[in-house]
A = this chain, B = another copy of it.
């Protein structure tokens, strides 16, 4: 089948949400075109759409790059999420039982992923909670907005988050759902505010914007914390090219 631009957009966005694409990744038009079996035109369309959604950015004649939000942009993203998500909880009058059940199930899946140590899916799940919430309590429009914002905060976490606190986040989610079940929407909103605040506070926004964090991400197989000493021939590496990076090659 011929993938449409929407397919390409979705593929990239969901890869970002799943934490598979680090910020700063270069997305070459021709590479993507070959990969998806379409012409550059389609890829370009998808890229431009993603650019208006704040997911990628074009650097003139250099290529498309997954955004690397600055500290200020990070703060903006978190403020925006706080506004929308607390606003949503406070606007809603009652939570249908079906929604409650669905959210509880989601939290259960989260905990399971954490307990089994399924690192690859847990980041995705933690973000998904918020998307599910918007979908269940809000509408399509709101869900889309939250989804894009979640992609952004996912990238931000990859850039600035020194330690992951997956368990704590999942507990927060649980508390929020509990407050909703008790009919205390205002309390749920407060908890949500605190939750997002906690995540934001857990970032190190004074850290260097992005000197070689993305390079490291690409070279490290993600679950391994300790880097193997100088790789023999990391030259012809995996999927996205990483070898021409503006920064210095030595550390």
Residues of A within 8 A of B (CB): 45, 48-49, 51-54, 73, 75-77, 79-80, 82-88, 90-91, 138-142, 145, 193
Closest Cβ neighbor of A52 among chain B residues: B49
Does A80 lie within 8 Å of B141, measured CB to CB?
Answer: yes
**Total identical chains:** 2
**Contact present for B83 and A138 (CB under 8 Å):** yes
Q: Which B residues lie within 8 Å of A141 (CB)? A: 54, 73, 76-77, 80
Q: Which chain B positions have C-beta within 8 A of A86?
A: 87, 90-91
Chain B residues lying within 8 Å of A83, measured Cβ to Cβ, are 84, 87-88, 91, 138, 142
Chain B residue at minimal CB-CB distance from A73:
B141
Chain A contact surface mostly: helix
Q: A45-B48, A52-B49 are in contact. Are A82 and B77 (CB under 8 A)?
A: no
Residues of B within 8 A of A45 (CB): 48
Task: Indicate if the CB atoms of A139 and B84 lie closer than 8 Å.
Answer: no
| Distance, CA A49 to CA B193, complexed state (A) | 32
Asked if B53 contacts A140 (CB within 8 A), the reply is no
Residue in B48, B52, B84 whose beta carbon sits within 8 Å of that of A87 in the complex? B84
Closest chain B residue to A145, Cβ basis: B145
A190 CA / B75 CA spacing, docked (Å): 26
Q: A84: which of B53, B84, B140, B193 is its contact (CB, 8 Å)? A: B84
Of the candidates A49, A85, A91, the one having the most CB atoms from chain B within 10 angstroms of its own CB is: A91
Give the CA-CA distance A87 to B90 in the complex, in Å.
8
Contacts of A80 in B (CB 8 A): 138-139, 141-142, 145
In the bound complex, what is the Cα–Cα distance between A73 and B144 (angstroms)?
14
How many angstroms from the CA of A140 to the CA of B73 in the assembled complex? Answer: 9
Bound-state Cα–Cα, A51 to B49, Å: 9
Instruction: Give the nearest-CB partner of A75 in chain B.
Output: B139
A193 with B140: in contact, given A48-B49, A83-B84 (CB under 8 Å)?
no
